[in-house]
Every structure is written in C-alpha cells, then in structure tokens.
Amino acid sequence: MSEVPQRFAGRTVMVTGAGTGYGAEIAVRAAKEGAGTVVVHYRSSSAGAERTAERVRGEGAQALLVQGDIVSWDDIKRMAATVDAELGHLDALINNVGDMASEQESWRDITEELIDHTLAVDIKGTMLMTHEFGTRMLKRERGAIVNIGSTVIVRGSPRAPQYAAGKYGVVGLTKSYAKAFAPHVRVNTFAPGFMKTERVLNRADWKAGRGEQLARDTPAGRIPEPDELAGTALFLASDEAAHITGSYMICDGGYSMLGA
C-alpha cells in the first residue's frame, strides 16, 4: 500500500455531511493526510457524526462537531462563528452535502416538493456555505473550497432532471465565486461518478441490476467504494492544485467519456 501524502499537515478542514457516506470518508482521509483539526458537520445524523469524529481522532487529528441545516443562512452563520471561535480560521472547506433525489426512480415521479428540496440543498445550500465561509477565508487571504458535484453536469439525469439542474448550478456558483475570491481563495467542483454509498446501494433500480450494468458500461470496469475517491476530492483543496480554480474535475472511471 502506498504511503498517504501529508497534504494537510497542521491545517483545518471542514466537511459537510460528514456523518455518513462519502462525507465521512473525506473527513477521515483529511485526518490521515495530517489535518490538525477536522470539522465534522451534520444535520440530523448525530450518531454518525460521532462515529466519524472517533475515526478522525483515531488518525491523530482533533475533531470539532458542528450541527446545522445548510439551507438556513442563520445556521451557516452560527457554524462559521463556532469554527472561528474554536479554531480561529478554516483552511479548506469541502461542501459535500447534496440531494440526488435518490427516492425518485423516474422523471415521471417528479413533484414540486422534490424540485424545491433538491434545488434548495444543491444550489442555495452550497452557495451560502461558499459565500459565508469563503468571505471569512478572504479576510485571511487564504483558503480553498471544493464543491462536490456530479457527472450529471456532462450527461444530464433523465431519472431526476432537478438533480442535474442543481449540479449545473453548483458549477455556475463555483465559477462565480472563484472569480470573486481570486487570487487568494480557490473554488472548484469535484464531480465524482457512481460510488457504492449506502444511499446508492439501497436504490431500487440499483438492486434490480443497474449496478451491474453501470459497471459493465464503465471503462474502468467497476464502481468504486467512497473511500477510494476521498483523496481525489481533497486534491483540489491541496497546494498541489494551487493553480486550479473555477474548474471542475470529473472522476468516474471514464463512464461519461464520449464513446464509452
């Protein structure tokens, strides 16, 4: 096994939605890469956040738990104030929280409530987190923000069109804030493909055989576990990506590649 790079030695990293799934793996990976403190955000999965915090501490980092709904600007301001008071500053923010309308199996199942919720979380929530924490980073003239997107930005989502719309919105706000915060704070989008998260594995279409079909259609030949892509997302927040801003990086084993 290759040695884990120490790209975040002594730095502070915040991951939203870190109580479960991909967010938890990014938080733990940040600790493995030397982060001094990892801020573990959650909305409702307090037990999951505690488990993530234990794993973070097991890797030698400090863990700060913060609870809040990213759709609420008041909650975000409160969380930002807590991070400032406890840590003094934040070096990297990974906006992992998103809504993929996983309970929706077809565009025919769409409802106004599903549209409103998905767009509120994916666009409004990501935008407010970027705005509030990025503004504070800008005062310090240092920081990096990674917004977790999706490969639907290149192929759309006939299953849930509002999900694709939300992630297209994430690309737009990423580019906008990257320009607004330049040159001191970088903002990028990381667009992973399918991962074997609990939410995806529990989808009815996945259980009905879509998982096997997706693996066959992926040039890399398989669907990865969430922890395999955690370090890749963090790359965009590291000094190795110092000249990358306002961009998006796709990581899907070639699934979205023309002709794949």
What are the catalytic residues? 163
Cite the beta strand spans of 85-149 per DSSP E. Answer: 92-95, 143-148
Provide the β-strand partners of residue 66.
41
Q: Which of 130, 191, 187, 195 is closest to 163 using CA atoms?
A: 191
Which of 200, 222, 1 has its CA nearest to residue 98?
A: 200
Reduced to 3 states (helix: H, G, I; strand: E, B; else coil), residue 30 is helix
Spatial CA neighbour of 109 closest among 44, 174, 162, 187: 162
What is the CA 156 to chain-centroid distance, rounded?
Answer: 19
Q: At what angle do helices 46-58 and 21-32 cross, to 10 degrees?
A: 20
Q: Which ranges in 123-238 belong to alpha helices (H)?
A: 126-140, 152-155, 161-181, 198-201, 204-205, 211-217, 230-235
- Compute the Cα dihedral for 55, 57, 62, 66 and give only its sign: positive
